[in-house]
Amino acid sequence: MNSPSVPGRCRRRTVTAGAAAAVLALLAVASPAVASAPAPAPPGVQRSLEALVSELGVPGALVTVREPGGRTVSGAAGVGDVATGAPVPLDGEVRAGSNTKTFVAVVVLQLVAEGRVRLNSNIEHYLPGLVRGKGIDGRHITVRQLLQQTSGLPNYSDYLGEDVRHFEPRELLDLALRHPAAFRPGTSWQYSNTNYLLAGLLVERVTGHTLAQELDTRIVQRLGLRHTYFPAPGETALRGPHPHGYYRDAGHLLDVTEFDPSWAWAAGQLVSTNADLDTFFTALLTPGRLLPAAQLAQMQAATATADATFGPGARYGLGLVSRPLSCGGRYWGHGGSFPGYETRGGATEDGRAASVAVTEQVTDSARRQHLDDLVDGALCEAAAAAR
């Protein structure tokens, strides 16, 4: 997701590029102890993970792969704390960014299955008078268009700048509505966090509960996700073992692990782990686990081309991205980009899943492609291992 620049007040430590390189060099010698696990990642996956650190310069990287029979393997590379050289926790918590959108879309589709929400109803029906602006009218924007990013609503996070104070969702919506629509609803596709801001408000209005409560009850508890949660208001630290997250500024790595994530809310506030994300996406593709078959089919009706945002061949369904695999077939996931962390991953319908996280928000195409290639390679290796 688009995210604001990191202001000075978010900087816990400043580490020079030289010091970081020295720590990473030391870790390369000790890497077997850092990445050790009862079920290590396949060699090809581990090499790709280490290349993220040694060749592309991210401070830390971690991966978890689920094979079709349910066996899980994990790997890590780099450091979990640049200042101390502490190892990367094999399944450490990270800010999962826009993977949150898939969780929110699942809750909305559960409400559709319960007859409490209709995908083709306009958002005005659920949030009367709330969505108005230049070229913007909630009477002409459907719930489906919000979930599929075809509403034309401006992206509020494009206008945040360096302001990462605590935000209420309505403040973020007001910020978006000061700007004109990008296109008439349903006539094009454009990624906008504002769509999921409204989806979160819809969930709260229909259920009478907070979005955090609904995510926890309907998904987290149902699947037994041990390290997935929606941070409480004012909560700035991660609760469990985690690698530190960094922002790169003029050759320095700034520790941005702890700050208020409320600016992301329903579009990207979730905290999770690779293993929990693998569990979530695997369950999502199993009819009846999270969604009835009819709603899952609607979610997977990925008719919107999303190449510019998610890479060649990507298509966007209802909060779910479909991507082609080099070994044949497709996988379903989302991915997230958040100050300090970048995540990629997804699952296939035969039970494979892979999630990778790095401890720096990735803004260049080379490193993004490497992350996508790593997921592709992990899922293809899992298919080969199952033969």
Just list the catalytic residues: 98
Distance of CA 316 to the CA centre of its chain: 14
- Rounded to the nearest 5°, which phi and psi values hold at 45? -65, -45
Distance CA 82, CA 103 (A): 31
Tokens of 293: 């078959």
Distance CA 44, CA 374 (A): 9
Q: Which long-range contacts (CB under 8 A, 24 or more apart) does 361-367 make?
A: 361/3, 361/245, 361/247, 361/337, 362/58, 362/337, 366/56, 367/52, 367/56, 367/58, 367/342
Nearest by Cα to 99 from 286, 310, 326, 320: 320
Tokens of 50: 């280490």
